[in-house]
Structure 1
Amino acid sequence: MSTTRPYPPGDRGHEPSGASGVSASSEEDAPAGAAMASATGAAASSAPPSRTDSGAVETPRGRQVRRLGLEGASGVVPLARDFTRQALYDWGWLPAAGADQRAAAEDVLLVVSELVTNACLHAEGPDELALACDNKVIRLEVTDRGTGQPAPRTPHRAGRPGGHGMFIVQRLCLDWGVVRAQGRPGKTVWAELGAPA
């Protein structure tokens, strides 16, 4: 697994606000795709996953997965946001009961927008958006065929137009990284955010 973190795993670098990087459980620490594969039943598990009425995959541990094919679609950023917003409604994040829940849902929508936009700008567009949620973490994955390695611009200049996407992702997420597909072009950029309390 190759990641784009400019810091050791579990450490998000200097956090002036006092925030700290939180490691997720072992299932979420698995490479991108592995967590999705286990959630959809491709990996061995003690019980098979089941489908809900909304078409989501629910695993025995309560982890749900949603996938949206974006290859060749137009208007992919609003499409991805709408798809994610509907998943957040289905998972109970929206409508938000308080300011913290509303902020958490808005952060998820912003990170989805940034990841999909980066795929559009640097990788000929995204192929797929995958969302996985349990009661602690939501994992977002955007798969594309690009060869570039996303990274926050260094140094970050707040007044400079453009180039803030991965900086925003780095600041809002518990962790993020990149997994390259073996034997074929492309990559999956993943990000994990904490569920609202």
Structure 2
Amino acid sequence: MSTDTETRRLVLATGEGSVGRCREFAREVLIRWGWTPTAEGERGEVARDVLLIVSELVTNAAAYAEGPVELRLTRSALGLRVEVADCNPELPVLRRGGDTARPGGHGLRVVDLLSWSWGSRAGAHGKSVWSEIAAPPADLSCPR
């Protein structure tokens, strides 16, 4: 990612209600950054993908750790990085195959499909799971 970046963080005291809080925080940040989820076309699609990635990563932290402790959104000219930290040091594994008709267990597959890159890293007090998404195309419409 470019060195010209801006980061917004949401620190969470409890995992309760974390998916909704993180989605709302991400939605507000995306709107401030011009990645409006309600926009039509590619810009809106990319923003909605970001919200889905936030939901999946936060849900995984809630399901497999004791909930997320931080959501971090970092933007650059190239794109956006979504990062969710939790207190469980066990790194996630993308499951291949399996029964796709059964609910559950598909969150990282969704993240993998929507991201240009994703991964995880162990930290001193748990781990972070991150996803990088390419920036939406610039709005080339003429001003009215």
**Same-fold call, TM cutoff 0.5:** yes
**Which residue in the other structure is 1:94 paired with?**
36
Give the direction of change, closer, same or farther, for the CA distance of 1:189–1:95 in structure 2 (3 Å limit). Answer: closer
Tell me, yes or no, if the aligned pair for 2:15 and 2:62 is still in contact at 8 Å: no
Superposition TM-score, scaled by structure 2 size: 0.88
Q: 1:75 aligns with which of 11, 17, 22?
A: 17
**Which residue in the other structure is 2:118 paired with?**
176
Q: Is the counterpart of residue 134 in structure 1 residue 84 in structure 2?
A: no
- Matches of 2:37 and 2:86, distance apart in 1: 31
**Cα distance, 1:143 vs. partner?**
0.6
CA radius of gyration, larger in? 1
Q: Is the counterpart of residue 144 in structure 1 residue 98 in structure 2?
A: no
Matches within 5 A, 1:45-84: 61=4, 63-84=5-26
Superposition TM-score, scaled by structure 1 size: 0.65
Aligned residue for 2:100, secondary structure, equals coil
- Matches of 1:135 and 1:98, distance apart in 2: 21
Matches within 5 A, 1:109-128: 109-128=51-70
Tell me, yes or no, if the aligned pair for 1:131 and 1:140 is still in contact at 8 Å: yes
Structure 1 segments unaligned to the other structure (5+ residues): 1-23, 28-60
Aligned residues: 137
**Cα distance, 1:74 vs. partner?**
2.4
- Matches of 2:23 and 2:98, distance apart in 1: 26
Identity %: 43
- Matches of 1:162 and 1:70, distance apart in 2: 24
Q: Is the counterpart of residue 196 in structure 1 residue 136 in structure 2?
A: yes
Aligned residue for 2:120, secondary structure, equals strand
**Root mean square deviation, CA, Å:** 1.6
Give the direction of change, closer, same or farther, for the CA distance of 1:81–1:65 in structure 2 (3 Å limit). Answer: same
**Cα distance, 1:97 vs. partner?**
4.6
Tell me, yes or no, if the aligned pair for 1:70 and 1:126 is still in contact at 8 Å: yes
More strand by share: 2
**Cα distance, 1:189 vs. partner?**
0.6
1:114-140, CA deviations, whole angstroms, 9 ceiling, x for partnerless residues? 000000000110110000012221001
**Cα distance, 1:96 vs. partner?**
5.2
Which deviates the most, 104-113 or 149-158?
Answer: 149-158
**Cα distance, 1:153 vs. partner?**
1.5
Tell me, yes or no, if the aligned pair for 1:123 and 1:144 is still in contact at 8 Å: yes
**Cα distance, 1:156 vs. partner?**
4.3
